[in-house]
Structure 1
């Protein structure tokens, strides 16, 4: 199935950049907290004997952080839809960029788009 790619308009590029910057500013602290909690969780699991109450408490904190990140992603997706920015299929293998190479395809895009100029963003739709 071939993908059809179209560049964003200048208005969409400006809106996309603002939405992305806002999302990054709001989510980066939560992502760092989640990484820290993962290290803490792994350390607690390695303890002898493991303290199940502490492990469960940290797991709950990780769950809450993931929920907060999911809520921010939904907020970002709504803002993009309201700005008329098509969602496309995200970064991954296949699609724009050609057969099996890294390009627009299926996968998560947030971490790959940091620092990428909005003029380089293309939205792809599967046909």
Structure 2
């Protein structure tokens, strides 16, 4: 029982559906439509980050991180939003830090995509 509670709390750190429904309202169909758009945006963001990192474009990286913060916050992707905030606040192009943050973002995106896809298959308010 305890591990189930811990698993639930840990998942909420990554995909908090309570927060998502506070932002979007209690309409599951609307949430599903928005989450499908978020899945596309996450894929686009990763590609955009790669392009900007390859060209050492710190302003582009920060702009993409800022957009990702808004996208992830609005659907309860708390950890992704936190990582993107670190990316956005980076004062200079430090290739080591940039690559660390990007690796964390890729890992988190892969995880939340699984959580979102699971929600889309079995939507609920819990």
* Range into which the TM-score falls when normalised by the shorter chain: 0.3 to 0.5
Q: Which has the higher helix share?
A: 2
Of structures 1 and 2, the one scoring higher in RCO (CA 8 A, sep 6+) is: 1
Structure 1 length normalisation: TM-score? 0.40
